[in-house]
Amino acid sequence: MSASSGAQAFDADGRLHRARQIASPNFDGRPAGEALRLLVVHNISLPPNEFGGPGVIDLFLNRLDPGAHPFYAAIAWLRVSSHFYIRRDGELIQFVPCARRAWHAGASRWNGREGCNDFSVGIELEGSDFVPFRDAQYDALARLTRELMAHYSIQAVVGHSDIAPGRKTDPGPFFDWPRFRALI
């Protein structure tokens, strides 16, 4: 993919034209002059280890019903988001424009810098640490990564566990890094 095709894929605020857009209120501005340098791959499922429902979207939109599942009562108060979410079937949803800071990394560190949300794009894969990801997800993630790399000065792609070791485990042991790297 050429740089120009990556540039054409996004609007001026960093919305990917081909992604389904669902605006999360959980974002703010990046620090002035801060360039995107990092892609962070996560996994998420709500309820835990269940796929296909509205839980993740509801969490990112601050409308998770604490009574809908026992686990939700402990997390419904969270204000979190991600730039992108890739469902099990490969559907790509964007919650926060890339020019804005999504709240996905939490306490984090990369190359000696704290606060990875300042300079990263968060990509959530619908999944868990206990099941393999699907072909459609690898294909969608690889295409998205190529588009982001063509448009931004991305220096690395890491897992959440790489920037928050001991606190986070995602994307987990079933994420096939060699397969993903071969696709990009």
How far is 156 from 165, CA to CA, in rounded Å?
17
Calculate the CA 110 to chain-centre distance.
16
Catalytic entry in 34, 91, 114, 124: 124
Q: Token digits for 89?
A: 């079937």
Q: Token digits for 180?
A: 């993903």
How far is 91 from 83, CA to CA, in rounded Å?
14
Q: Token digits for 132?
A: 């393999």
Computed from CA positions of residues 45, 15, 151, 34, in that sequence, does the dihedral angle turn out positive or negative?
Answer: negative
How far is 122 from 82, CA to CA, in rounded Å?
5
124 is a catalytic site residue: yes
List the one residue out of 122, 155, 91 whose CA is nearest residue 27.
122
The catalytic residue positions are 124
